[in-house]
């Protein structure tokens, strides 16, 4: 059984970013990934999170990070960012070996993380299609893989992907529109007070309606984040209006009171 360790009196975040791959791996360098990692590290630290930043880890090292983090105590919530090349259901370690997201999520099905709010942000491709900004009826076979991922996600967890199943995620030397917009929203005190799913809906709106790629290859392409939620209550991860700092709080039925942590 995992024993709670670490800073249980503080909310924690882990950022795993792969910008460079081992020699011989047929995956290109990801310009902008390091800028994303530094930005989100700075943003979350300012909001009171204890943040760990890991760069260019192998697949097994990534698994090990999350096995360890899932057994460490946390005050109210845990936030993870995974940024790399990817396909549906996985991201790639610096060694080019796929890291199955379902294995990462399953790590957090344990007593230490029970009844704690958990948020995963995934900046990675989920296929090779590009979004022209038109509506489609389905994403084809990707739906089956998405359902498998849903089953692996613990209760009281939200997973936000930079893109929909089957589509590519856009990255530039200035960073990803997904993570840069997320950080920009958290810099607004009023937006930080939003319930989590409302905040993530605002994130989707900002990315979908204000971003359009430029350049010879991607000119005019759009991005549309995708939310998978197994939250059972309203969660306020970034509301710092109380002396205790950041806390995951649950709205009462009448919306007038809030109680620390998920209950």
Q: Which residues are catalytically annotated?
A: 85, 125
Pairing of strands 157-161, 117-123: parallel
For residues 8-22, one letter each, b for 16 or more C-beta atoms within 10 angstroms of the residue's C-beta and e for the rest, the string is eeebbbbbbbbbebe
The rounded distance, in Å, linking the Cα atoms of 219 and 175 is 17
- Answer for the pair 251, 259: CB distance below 8 angstroms, yes or no: no
Q: For residue 159, what are the CA distances in angstroms to 120, 122, 150, 170, 200?
A: 5, 7, 9, 18, 10
């Amino acid at each position: 059984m995992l024993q709670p360790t670490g800073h249980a009196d503080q909310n924690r975040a882990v950022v795993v970013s792969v910008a460079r791959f081992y020699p011989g791996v047929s995956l290109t360098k990801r310009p902008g990934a390091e800028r994303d990692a530094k930005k989100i590290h700075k943003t979350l630290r300012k909001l009171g999170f204890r943040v760990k930043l890991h760069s260019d880890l192998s697949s097994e090292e990534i698994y090990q990070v999350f096995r360890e983090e899932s057994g460490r105590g946390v005050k109210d919530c845990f936030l993870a960012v995974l940024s790399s090349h990817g396909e549906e259901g996985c991201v790639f370690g610096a060694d080019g070996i796929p890291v199955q997201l379902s294995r990462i999520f399953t790590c957090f099905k344990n007593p230490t993380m029970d009844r704690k709010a958990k948020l995963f942000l995934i900046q990675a491709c989920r296929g090779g299609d590009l979004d022209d900004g038109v509506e489609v009826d389905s994403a084809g076979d990707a739906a089956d893989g998405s359902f498998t991922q849903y089953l692996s996600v613990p209760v009281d967890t939200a997973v936000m992907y930079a893109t929909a199943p089957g589509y590519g995620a856009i990255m530039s030397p200035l960073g990803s529109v997904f993570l840069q917009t997320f950080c920009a929203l958290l810099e607004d005190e009023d937006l930080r007070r939003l319930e989590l799913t409302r905040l993530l809906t605002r994130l989707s709106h900002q990315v979908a309606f204000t971003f359009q790629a430029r350049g010879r290859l991607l000119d005019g392409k759009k991005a549309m984040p995708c939310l998978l939620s197994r939250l059972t209550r309203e969660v306020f991860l970034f509301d710092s209006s109380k002396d205790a700092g950041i806390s995951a709080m649950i709205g009462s039925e009448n919306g007038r009171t809030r109680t620390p942590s998920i209950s």
